[in-house]
Structure 1
Amino acid sequence: MPIRVTHTGSLPRTQEVVDLIFARENGDAYDPATFDSVMAKNCSETVRKQVEAGIDVVSDGETSKISYATYVKDRYTGFSGDSPRNAPADLKLFPSFLKRLAQDGGTPKYARPMCTGPVKSKGQDELLKDIHHLKDAMATHGAAEGFMNAASPGVISLFLQNDHYASRDEYLAALSDAMRDEYRTILDAGLFLQLDCPDLALSRHMLFADLSDDAFLKIAASHVEALNNALQGLDPSRIRVHICWGNYEGPHVCDIDMDKVFSTFLSVNASQLLFETSNPRHAHEWQVFRDRASEIPDDKVLVPGVIDSTSNFVEHPEVVAERLTRFAHIVGTDRVIAGSDCGFGTFAGFGAIDPDIAYAKLKSLAEGTALANGRL
């Protein structure tokens, strides 16, 4: 099987979408029917652009979501107030750069409420609308396969911190129980489920910077345990898991090594593993997969990020092909899918990448994959 092409999920949203999302976010007046029609239209256009760029497994671009993690506050009870902000440890080491980011609007501003009560689903209506919009767009534009992102219990606990449950483990268990139906609903719709788990790496230098690596890995293992509990009875071959160290341009000198989180990452009950291997801080870590190839189960599919999501450089197709070939030589072409380091629209209305350049990067991703396939 040739290498297929996908990406991590979020894509730039139009100003029309952003304005409606923030009207809802800020409690301003808006027409729900207009909101739904605008999301449907823009989801369709997002899918069209992906297909045109050569993407095989498309997403809805997370069109309707304020962000990949905090959207849960709108779909689940138990959240109110605001959570404390904690800058990543690497940015604290360079305060002049952190100040510049803040002054230049380089840090997104959006609500991060605390968990202040029992977490329960408000129903699947919003999710079902997103699924309907994506499947309609796929049918219209000829996309055979699609995926939808969902937050993991661990990443929710990272951004929406606990002020209700007696312990972190109790909070994770509640989130696991609450998210189970969302995960199943996405799979039952015939889509791939993508679980976003930056908590398995990013939270090391964001929330747990004072711990040792070993102590952090125990926490990460508890996050995986909660996630796997929510995935019980679901088909791992239809599940993708994404790990990252934070989708921001910065020094990243405090990132925990892939080699240290490798076993934790592989322990998620998901077949497809999405990870960063393009940006300058993690480009060398393809070697971890080479050196520990014997530890990679046969049912795991590697989805390396071979284009960066924080730079407006458009990677040359030859660079993409070179990166993919390394992984194909480790596990075979049938167990490699071309991906991106992270999303291009992690937060609505915020992103370092020009929207047109984002799709140019996806086009180069597809062209480079074609080169790799021709050589392999």
Structure 2
Amino acid sequence: MAKINTTHVGSLPRTQEVVDFIFARENKQPFDQAAFDACMTAAVSETVRKQVEAGVDIVSDGETSKISYATYVKDRYTGFSGDSPRNAPADLKMFPSFLQRLADDGGTPQYARPMCTGDVTSKGQDELNKDIANLKAAMEAHGATRGFMNAASPGVISLFLQNSHYKTREAYLAALADAMKEEYETIVAAGLDLQLDCPDLALSRHMLFADMTDDEFLKIAQMHVEALNHALQNVPADKVRVHICWGNYEGPHCCDIAMDKVFSTLMATKSRYVLFETSNPRHAHEWTVFRDRKSEIPEDKVLVPGVVDTTTNFIEHPELVAQRIERFTDIVGADRVIAGSDCGFGTFAGFGAVDPDIAYAKLKAMSDGAELAAGRL
């Protein structure tokens, strides 16, 4: 029987002990570094164990030690201080009563978003090397043979940590690309796949660039891709995954730019694997874009559609998962499809719409669905 591999976008729910340590560091409160490190090692091991138990083939460390998928860079690179302005997505601004409800219910995560106020340079790879060691040890302990590690793209850093130092956006992106280059190369040199999180290629359209036309935004997005590809110049494309999304939050999403418009931008990234949303109600129909533009999908690209949603506690039926997978295997073949999730389950430390146990149940439904689909090939 053919096999369809499974993975996910990267972040997974963190334990309260992990969250407490992360926010002690975030809020500059005293904490024991040795206890912090021991907590992260144990938590990553458990996170990998749960992924293997759920049938996930390509595992991650769950981004356990990071405050968030983008703003962690403020802890590992110089040049950031103060605070960046908050930009609510345009769809939430259209429904202010819902936006207020999210705020009142604690539905918007609280964490520092400093500005770029100086030259961006690496503080060294010590924290990254700890993450790598934790993931590799956990993989060995629990029998996982393939793993990936997330890293922020230059574009998503510029979205959340805005620039007040460099003269132009281009200059800021170029500085970020040069600074992040070593992080990307270190992950791949360790034998892991590298995942670049790039919601800037879609989410930022209705978050930071809402006043632009789609065509104007696409020029910005292409600039972001050029900066990313520059940073990846020494990294083989077959070790790179790129994730695009429109924001991992429950909301109207009626301002999301269409996949059809960002399709070419996504395909231009130096990556073999492209991860994208296709389960939530706003983007589930867009599998047809891949069908209708099949000839524009480079032959070396592997599609990783999100076959489970990450903003709802519904557990998808494995048959539905199988049907979602089959839409894409019918387009590019089973050897070029990996089942994934729409986004992460723990995008920000201590914040997630999906109950932790349900998150892993959804991953199990994903692997069960992949097995069903493979059995029908």
* Cα distance in 1 between the residues matched to 2:21 and 2:7: 28
> Which ranges of structure 2 fall in alignment gaps of 5 or more residues?
none
Shift of 1:234: 1.1
* Cα distance in 1 between the residues matched to 2:199 and 2:85: 18
* Cα distance in 1 between the residues matched to 2:203 and 2:134: 31
Shift of 1:233: 2.2
In the TM superposition, 1:144-155 aligns within 5 A as 144-155=145-156
Code of the residue aligned with 2:306 in structure 1: it is: G
* Cα distance in 2 between the residues matched to 1:11 and 1:169: 33
**What is the percentage of aligned positions where both structures have the same residue?**
76
Residue aligned with 1:312, SS? coil
Return the TM-score normalized by structure 2: 0.99
Code of the residue aligned with 1:42 in structure 2: it is: A
Residue aligned with 1:4, SS? coil
Code of the residue aligned with 1:234 in structure 2: it is: V
Shift of 1:3: 1.2
Match of residue 273 from structure 2: 272
Shift of 1:163: 0.5
Residue aligned with 1:16, SS? helix
Match of residue 60 from structure 1: 61
Match of residue 243 from structure 1: 244
Code of the residue aligned with 1:133 in structure 2: it is: N
In the TM superposition, 1:119-268 aligns within 5 A as 119-268=120-269
Residue by residue, what CA displacement relative to the aligned partner does 1:213-244 show, whole Å, maximum 9, x if unpaired? 00000000000000000000211011000000
* Cα distance in 2 between the residues matched to 1:330 and 1:233: 31
Match of residue 9 from structure 2: 8
* Cα distance in 1 between the residues matched to 2:340 and 2:235: 23
Match of residue 32 from structure 1: 33
Code of the residue aligned with 1:124 in structure 2: it is: Q
Q: Which runs of 4+ in 1 moved over 2 A?
A: none
* Cα distance in 1 between the residues matched to 2:181 and 2:291: 34
* Cα distance in 2 between the residues matched to 1:41 and 1:308: 28
CA contact (8 A) 2:185 2:234 kept: no
* Cα distance in 2 between the residues matched to 1:42 and 1:176: 30
Residue aligned with 1:306, SS? strand
Q: How many residues align?
A: 376
CA contact (8 A) 2:4 2:337 kept: yes
Residue aligned with 1:147, SS? strand
- What RMSD, in angstroms, separates the aligned Cα atoms of the two structures? 0.4
Shift of 1:117: 0.1
* Cα distance in 1 between the residues matched to 2:28 and 2:117: 20
* Cα distance in 2 between the residues matched to 1:206 and 1:2: 39
Residue by residue, what CA displacement relative to the aligned partner does 1:298-346 show, whole Å, maximum 9, x if unpaired? 1000000000000000000000000000100000000000000000000
Code of the residue aligned with 1:158 in structure 2: it is: L
* Cα distance in 2 between the residues matched to 1:2 and 1:264: 30
* Cα distance in 2 between the residues matched to 1:236 and 1:308: 27
Return the TM-score normalized by structure 1: 1.00
The answer to whether residue 16 in structure 2 is matched with residue 18 in structure 1 is no
* Cα distance in 1 between the residues matched to 2:87 and 2:321: 34
Shift of 1:251: 0.2
* Cα distance in 1 between the residues matched to 2:60 and 2:366: 16
In the TM superposition, 1:321-340 aligns within 5 A as 321-340=322-341
